[in-house]
Structure 1
Amino acid sequence: MTMANTLGSGRAIAALASLALLSGCGKPDTPPAAPAAKATDLITYAKGAPELDSIQTLVASSSPLPISDDMNARLGVDESETSRVGAPIAGRVTRLLADIGQAVRAGQPLAYLDAPDIGQARADLLKARADNDRKAREMDRSRLLYSGGAIARRDLEGAQADAAASSAELERARLRLGNLGAGSGDSLALTSTVSGYVVDRQINPGQQITAGQGPLFTVTDPKKLWLTVDVPETSVSRARVGEMIEFDVPAFPDRRFQGRITQIGLAVDPGTRRVQVRAEVSNPDLALKPEMYARARLVTDDGRRAIKVPNAALFEQGMQTYLFRVEAPGRFRRVPVKVGERGDSVSYVLEGIKDGDRIVGEGALLLNAQLAGD
């Protein structure tokens, strides 16, 4: 075989091997996703891009600029609209008529106790009534005898004193039985002094109750709450009765609530160097619950306003603070902003965006990383 023939055969074999290799390679199932289109401060995603699922957008809104940092606060029941029901005497629970969440009226029985002291109170009343009748008849007889000269004035005055004492004892026995809220027989009705909802119950059927034990029921109006705020002594001069206070709770991070200051403490806690400030809060949808923790800030509408944004929307780059503004669906622009006040969960932007702009909340850091090419 000549040298030329050998080289030609080698080329043919190489060509066949290459063809076999190409025929064994399958095409990819799906084409690779198109990368996001990026400019210096602009990033755009195609409709339906998976990255959009991790981006939360919201509408920026203006509000009065707070005059204090975030402060610890706690929600509680409105004590002026709350009744904590206890047992004035010992007894055993025979009937349970109210449960947690139930609406009740003032004076409505919540439970009945079988209380032997009720029987004793009834017996005391009957005895006092009988004694009062007897002493009243003796006084009438003494008055008649005195008018006829049969007894001395001293005897008449003694009968009058006995009648007055028996009348007082009758009134005491009547009030005692009435204060116990007695039902029929030896049963004692436990009642609330206010109308509202049962928010706590510490009583069960058949349970033995001791005198003074309580609270067995807590009844309140949960649509009215108190917010107790621990205000640093350095900031208490800014608090004013009648001014608004703004707060948020961990259960609803996207909601902002308000209350109105009704009382400012008169002393500083020596351990914490804080003053307790109380505000009344309206809770029409019952979203807020007593004993929830909150973060509050003093707010006064003195004309200074700013755009309130969640801290998740802000990020630092060098010495500048940025956020992303939504220009169109899937189109986000990084804009520099000036922050006035920073809180634990929200901050207040003075410049860079305006009221009504749509901005990115959660996902802002992801956008910035992709914009930088990470």
Structure 2
Amino acid sequence: MSTRSYCSAMTHCLSGVLLSLMLLSTPAIGLAGKPQDNDDAPHDNAVTEPQTAPASDMIRVDQKAAKQMGLQVERLTRQRLVVSIKTTGQIEALPDQKVAVTAPILGIVVQLLAKPGDPVQAGQVVALLSSPELAQLRVEAIQKREEAEAGLQQAAADLRLAQQNYGRQRQQAIADLNQARTQVTLSQERYDRNRELQAAGAIARRQVQESETELAATRAALTKAQSKLGELEAVNQLSRAQAGVSVAQSRVRLSDAAYRARLQQLKTTANNEGLVTVTAPIPGTVADRPTTPGETVTVEAASKPLMTIVNAQRVWATANLYEKDLAKVEVGQSAQVIVASLPKRTFTGRVAQIGTVVEGTTRVIPVKVELDNPQQVLKPGMFAELELLTGQAPAAVLAIPSTAVVDNNGTPRVFVQQEEGYRPVAVTLGQTAGKLVEVKSGLKEGDRIVTEGATLLYAQSLGGVGITTDSDDKPKGGKETEHDLDDVIRKIQIPAWLGLPVGAVAVGAAFWIGRRTQSRQNHSPSSSRSLFEYEAEIYLNQLKQPVESETRQDEKPADIQE
């Protein structure tokens, strides 16, 4: 067969195909706009139940897929909601439990004994400083003390000498006293005997008088010895030595008085090396340490602290309230706090402080909730969500968990479990209380709603990507597949009025192609090739060439591979 004959046959074939497609598509298009007469289509006299949904809205999920999705279903009940005010804020340390440790005097940081994160106790030494002022006072105190101690040693030596002298003089005085007493005794005996002899006429009166004079002399010597024992010179010397020791001891005690007074004034102490010790004022944890050893620190307010100690056993959750909500909040009310790092844990506290001044621009007032934080999991600076519980609703309302609500283009929806599957229901929401939200319309008491996994169900309703359902386990090509295809075809609603124009256009196109080809064949010489024949030959040549596949960057084409 020649190329011209082949092209002519092909032209008539294409015209026939177009005409056939036109005749077949016209009745299909005409019938597409009409509802199919089957059992699935609703009749005019059918009664629609309130909970019945179209097949396209119902989501069917088998038990295995529901378990994988973590679906949880609960029955809707009425309950009294706790009325609350929600706001956002941050965690803060109590004012008296966050202390900046500063230098008590101008000096140089010698050593820092605590680093960030270390726990410290009240009174624990956390830093050592070297102060030129205290160093000078300490040197002077040491010099004075050395001088006072030398004086004390001299006074002590004088005291010991006086004590020895006193001992010797006392012993001599006691000996003299004893001798005088002996003499008095002897004189008294001689006098008594002489008187007896005189009375007997044995001796003269003159001997009695002599013995009496001797007795008087011995008695005078005894009196002198007794007085000498009480008025020893060593007694005075001993007293002076004791006074000197007392004075020397006082000088020792007062030698560092100025040094100790300055330390007491600074409310600090110094170690044996003369370094100023800085102690922790409160128990807690070192939060920051901006100073390093070797830096010079001052007592000025602008000077940076040695470190910051925070006691986070109790913290504040601080937030702002609008002026209109101020009347609903009072000190002592219960509050709940949630932080982002612990989303499943709720901290309970009470309103500890309400601000006294409303900011003029934002019209808000600060509120502080005090929280116990024994494990110190709440860190100052954390963002927090606060819910101030102001009371209970006067009546019980339908309430569902907030996890049961999904947002469908701005419309809240809840999935209700039915025998056929899960049906999305549009609802109207009311006030929120904690994790519960009021349902004003769309649901009724007793409905079984999905409380967990509603987001996955919503994703399934949009396409079901990654979720295994009952339809995924059915074999392809069966009745179910054909039925689904019919449903898809029914959904393609083409207006009936488009059938006639489309058919007319198809007939006209087929007739024009045939006439154009015949006209070229009649007017062109047999030796020259028609334009249509040239185009048909190009098309046939393209069909004979192999189709090139895409080559990856890491692969070479077949004609350049080694």
- For 1:180, the aligned partner's letter is T
Instruction: Assess if the C-alpha contact under 8 Å between 1:262 and 1:278 holds in 2.
Output: yes
- From 107, 116, 121, give the equivalent of 1:105: 121
2:294 aligned counterpart, secondary structure: coil
1:242 aligns with 2:332: yes
Match of 2:362 in 1: 272
After superposition, where does 1:189-208 map in structure 2 within 5 Å?
189-208=277-296
Greater shift, 111-120 or 301-310, is seen at 301-310
Once the two structures are TM-superposed, the CA of residue 44 in structure 1 deviates from its matched residue by: 0.9
After superposition, where does 1:168-187 map in structure 2 within 5 Å?
172-173=261-262, 175-176=264-265, 179-187=267-275
What is the TM-score of this pair, normalised by structure 2? 0.43
Where do 5+ consecutive residues of structure 2 fail to align? 1-54, 147-256, 465-487, 489-562
Deviations along 1:163-199, one digit per CA (max 9) or x if unpaired, are xxxxx9788435225x133333331222221112222
Instruction: Assess if the C-alpha contact under 8 Å between 2:60 and 2:422 holds in 1.
Output: yes
CA distance in 1, matches of 2:141, 2:367: 49
Deviations along 1:292-334, one digit per CA (max 9) or x if unpaired, are 122323213435688574468432578x632346899xx7564
Greater shift, 118-127 or 191-200, is seen at 118-127
- For 1:359, the aligned partner's letter is E
Once the two structures are TM-superposed, the CA of residue 225 in structure 1 deviates from its matched residue by: 0.9
After superposition, where does 1:258-337 map in structure 2 within 5 Å?
258-302=348-392, 309-310=401-402, 313-316=405-408, 321-324=412-415, 334=424
After superposition, where does 1:147-162 map in structure 2 within 5 Å?
none
- For 1:293, the aligned partner's letter is F
Deviations along 1:12-70, one digit per CA (max 9) or x if unpaired, are xxxxxxxxxxxxxxxxxxxxxxxxxx785443146268x946x78799998953432x3
Once the two structures are TM-superposed, the CA of residue 277 in structure 1 deviates from its matched residue by: 1.0
Once the two structures are TM-superposed, the CA of residue 121 in structure 1 deviates from its matched residue by: 4.9
Equivalenced residue count is 295
Instruction: Assess if the C-alpha contact under 8 Å between 1:233 and 1:268 holds in 2.
Output: yes
Match of 2:462 in 1: 369
Instruction: Assess if the C-alpha contact under 8 Å between 2:137 and 2:258 holds in 1.
Output: no
Instruction: Assess if the C-alpha contact under 8 Å between 2:404 and 2:414 holds in 1.
Output: no
Match of 1:222 in 2: 312
Deviations along 1:203-262, one digit per CA (max 9) or x if unpaired, are 223333333433322222223111111111111111110002233333344443333101
Instruction: Assess if the C-alpha contact under 8 Å between 1:315 and 1:321 holds in 2.
Output: yes
1:43 aligns with 2:134: no
CA distance in 2, matches of 1:106, 1:187: 20
2:265 aligned counterpart, secondary structure: helix
List 4+ stretches of structure 1 deviating above 6 A.
55-63, 124-130, 168-171, 325-328, 353-357
- For 1:315, the aligned partner's letter is D
- For 1:282, the aligned partner's letter is D
- For 2:280, the aligned partner's letter is S
2:116 aligned counterpart, secondary structure: coil
C-alpha RMSD of the superposition: 4.6
Of the two, which has the highest radius of gyration? 2
2:324 aligned counterpart, secondary structure: coil
Identical-pair percentage: 24
Higher strand share: 1
Match of 1:115 in 2: 131
Instruction: Assess if the C-alpha contact under 8 Å between 2:405 and 2:414 holds in 1.
Output: yes
- From 98, 102, 108, give the equivalent of 1:86: 102
- For 1:369, the aligned partner's letter is L
- For 1:322, the aligned partner's letter is R
Once the two structures are TM-superposed, the CA of residue 101 in structure 1 deviates from its matched residue by: 1.9
1:44 aligned counterpart, secondary structure: coil
1:360 aligns with 2:453: yes
1:101 aligned counterpart, secondary structure: coil
Once the two structures are TM-superposed, the CA of residue 115 in structure 1 deviates from its matched residue by: 2.5
Instruction: Assess if the C-alpha contact under 8 Å between 2:430 and 2:438 holds in 1.
Output: yes
Q: 1:338 to 1:209 in 2, by over 3 A?
A: same
Instruction: Assess if the C-alpha contact under 8 Å between 2:401 and 2:451 holds in 1.
Output: no
CA distance in 2, matches of 1:253, 1:239: 25
CA distance in 1, matches of 2:449, 2:316: 32
Instruction: Assess if the C-alpha contact under 8 Å between 2:429 and 2:438 holds in 1.
Output: yes
CA distance in 1, matches of 2:93, 2:439: 37
Where do 5+ consecutive residues of structure 1 fail to align? 1-37, 131-167
What is the TM-score of this pair, normalised by structure 1? 0.62
Once the two structures are TM-superposed, the CA of residue 264 in structure 1 deviates from its matched residue by: 0.8
Match of 2:52 in 1: none
CA distance in 2, matches of 1:358, 1:189: 61
Deviations along 1:131-164, one digit per CA (max 9) or x if unpaired, are xxxxxxxxxxxxxxxxxxxxxxxxxxxxxxxxxx
Q: 1:300 to 1:291 in 2, by over 3 A?
A: same
Q: 1:356 to 1:365 in 2, by over 3 A?
A: closer
CA distance in 1, matches of 2:400, 2:281: 43
1:271 aligned counterpart, secondary structure: coil
CA distance in 2, matches of 1:211, 1:339: 60
- From 71, 76, 81, give the equivalent of 2:87: 71
- For 1:283, the aligned partner's letter is N
- For 1:175, the aligned partner's letter is Q
Once the two structures are TM-superposed, the CA of residue 75 in structure 1 deviates from its matched residue by: 1.1
Q: 1:308 to 1:269 in 2, by over 3 A?
A: farther
Instruction: Assess if the C-alpha contact under 8 Å between 2:415 and 2:424 holds in 1.
Output: yes
Instruction: Assess if the C-alpha contact under 8 Å between 2:71 and 2:450 holds in 1.
Output: no
CA distance in 1, matches of 2:123, 2:115: 16
